[in-house]
Chains A and B, each alone.
Chain A
Amino acid sequence: MQPDGSIYEIEALEHIYAGRSVLRIEQLAIEAGGIVGLVGPNGSGKSTLLKLLGLIEKPSRGSLRFRGKVLDPFAPRARHHVTLLPQEPSLMKRNVFRNVAYGLRLRGQTDQLEARVQEALSFVGLPAEHFARRPWYALSGGETLRAALAARLALKPRVLLLDEPTAGVDAASAHLIKDAALRAQREWGTTLIVASHDRPWLYEVCSDVLQLFKGRIFGTGEETVLFGPWERFTDGTWGKTLSDNQHLRIPEPPGPETPAVVENIILGETDRNPSPDQVHLQGVVSRLNLAQKTGRVFATVLVEKLSWTVPLTQEQVLHRSIYPGKTVTIQYRLDSMRWV
């Protein structure tokens, strides 16, 4: 039984590149009309997932359903409703107008073509009178990206997939791109799926955030990932010694380099009867992010150079006067760690 309102459903999906498994998702449903963020380091599988959802590639194994039906990559039923803005999008060798009109022409939607192209260009802050006739090579990087986004917006898609849409563009372009994508979601109910390193923005706008690592979804982006190599201390416990002489302790790892995921990190009280399975570390708050949908605040705490994500309530922020620059103690339990 499919969940109500799911636009995508994934089951036992695996994708293989050159004999190597790059993405494996047991189960995932994406709700229609929402905004889903994908976070994770480079090479974690975000772009692959977007290409599969965008019908650019077909999964090697498993099923990917769009609105309840298994996808055939070239079936117009799905292809005409889903569009991906890839990382480093390219324009075709034609002028801006013909680039933006391309998808509409493919669909045979040539009624009011001019008006629709103009509207799409205005969404991304490229006035048609100045940009429509420009050739593809006469645009800056930010303008190229915005023109490429306009080509997707002109289609009024049900699903808009954005792969690092603001990487490498100036602040003004980034703002226009974010604004245009959110406007599409608001005005047309477009489902947005966005891969980005801009976590503050994702937390602010997304209904769900999925964290990917090594081709697996392992959380909601609120987890902290710790990387090896791990050492065995003289007392038999495992972890690593940080340069400020603090000990980061972990349970015995399955491998000397296996990354660990820490959940349920809380702000701790300094060293009041620490139990043996609790770890306390001292760090400095470097950033506070607000997830507008849930009202939760996420503090990024730097312990030496390691970045920890600590969920807080607004009351905690207020009463414990948490602000960037403040030294705090964070606390986690060894039994709350997982391996990826």
Chain B
Amino acid sequence: MDFLLDGLMQAARLLTGGDAETYSAIMITLQVSTLSMLCSLLIGIPLGFSLGHFEFPGKRPLRTLVDTLMALPTVFIGLLVYAFLTHRGPLGHFGLLFTLPGIAIGQTILALPIVIGLTATAIESLEEKTRVTLLSLGANRRQLFLSSLWEARHGVLSGAIAAYGRVMTEVGISMMVGGNIKWQTRTITTAIALETNKGQFGMGVALGLVLLAIAFGVNLSVSFLRRKT
């Protein structure tokens, strides 16, 4: 087990010494996950609200579909997005394969069912009397939407965190759609996979620690937000 200890020490050196390759993977991960989270929240929250708030024919099957898609395997998304973005694919002319926006598309698909499903659950769990309260105080459609989301904020936030956790830690999409190109599309997880294959445990451990630290930071700020509101 010495390699783990060595890895930890090497990790400390890489992180404190500002190793360019390590920091490149960290920055790329942050960029691409931020982009994909922004997209999935912007699309997913209104869809999740609609799914939770309105009654319409086919709502239950749709709900089951969304719940099923929460378990989509990342390599399968990677495969699909690759097939669409490759130069022979229907979206090939956009030249998005092996780019960060390409990875973000795949990660958005990964996060979307989680954001939609958990937002819908949070909105459904609001009691009918919350809706009556908001309407009786004069809320219009937009205000009803925003205030309901605010009332269900803890549930929506949990959905966002769950989605962020999956996006940050996935390997399949980044590897297949991003191509793991050093300085360009190499993320923390693809870097760990590569370095481990090469026997370079130090960088792998360093990057693993950074992933943990990011997860810790996100959860810490969320629990702070929860206490404040």
Contacts from A to B (Cβ < 8 Å): 51, 54-56, 74, 76, 79-80, 83-86, 88-93, 102-103, 106-107, 148, 151-152, 155
Residues from chain A with Cβ under 8 Å of B136 in the complex? 54, 56, 83-86, 152
Contact B151 A92 (CB under 8 A): yes
- Complex partner residue of A51 from B132, B139, B151, CB under 8 angstroms: B132
Residues from chain B with Cβ under 8 Å of A55 in the complex? 135
Contact A76 B138 (CB under 8 A): yes
- Complex partner residue of B137 from A51, A93, A102, CB under 8 angstroms: A102
Residues from chain A with Cβ under 8 Å of B133 in the complex? 86, 89-92, 148
Expressed in whole angstroms, the minimum distance between the Cβ of B148 and any Cβ of chain A is 10
Please, what's the 1-or-0 string for B130-156, where 1 marks a CB less than 8 Å from any CB in chain A? Answer: 101111111111010001001101000
Q: Specify the chain A residue showing the minimal Cβ separation from B147.
A: A92
Contact B138 A106 (CB under 8 A): yes
- Complex partner residue of B132 from A80, A86, A103, A152, CB under 8 angstroms: A86
**B129 contacts the other chain (CB 8 A):** yes
Residues from chain B with Cβ under 8 Å of A85 in the complex? 136
Q: Specify the chain B residue showing the minimal Cβ separation from A83.
A: B136
A54 to B133, CA, bound (A): 11
Interface of chain B: mostly helix, strand, loop or mixed = helix
Residues from chain A with Cβ under 8 Å of B2 in the complex? none
7 new A-B pairs (CB below 8 Å) besides A54-B136, A93-B150?
A: A74-B141, A83-B138, A90-B130, A91-B133, A93-B153, A106-B140, A148-B133
Residues from chain A with Cβ under 8 Å of B147 in the complex? 92, 102
Residues from chain A with Cβ under 8 Å of B127 in the complex? 90
Among A55, A83, A102, residue most surrounded by chain B Cβ atoms (within 10 Å): A102
Contact B138 A93 (CB under 8 A): no
A102 to B141, CA, bound (A): 15
- Can you list 14 A-B contacts with CB-CB less than 8 angstroms, sorted by A residue number? A54-B136, A83-B137, A83-B138, A84-B132, A84-B136, A86-B136, A92-B130, A92-B134, A102-B147, A103-B137, A106-B137, A106-B138, A106-B139, A152-B137
Contact B151 A74 (CB under 8 A): no
Q: Specify the chain B residue showing the minimal Cβ separation from A50.
A: B136
A25 to B132, CA, bound (A): 23
- Complex partner residue of A79 from B129, B138, B153, CB under 8 angstroms: B138
Contact B129 A106 (CB under 8 A): no
Expressed in whole angstroms, the minimum distance between the Cβ of A157 and any Cβ of chain B is 9
A295 to B135, CA, bound (A): 38
Contact B135 A56 (CB under 8 A): yes
Q: Specify the chain B residue showing the minimal Cβ separation from A80.
A: B138
A83 to B133, CA, bound (A): 9
Residues from chain A with Cβ under 8 Å of B130 in the complex? 90, 92
Chain A to chain B: the 3 pairs with minimum beta-carbon distance, closest first: A103-B137, A84-B136, A90-B129
A108 to B147, CA, bound (A): 15
Contact A74 B132 (CB under 8 A): no
In B107-132, which residues have CB < 8 Å from any A CB?
Answer: 127, 129-130, 132
Among B127, B134, B138, B140, residue most surrounded by chain A Cβ atoms (within 10 Å): B138
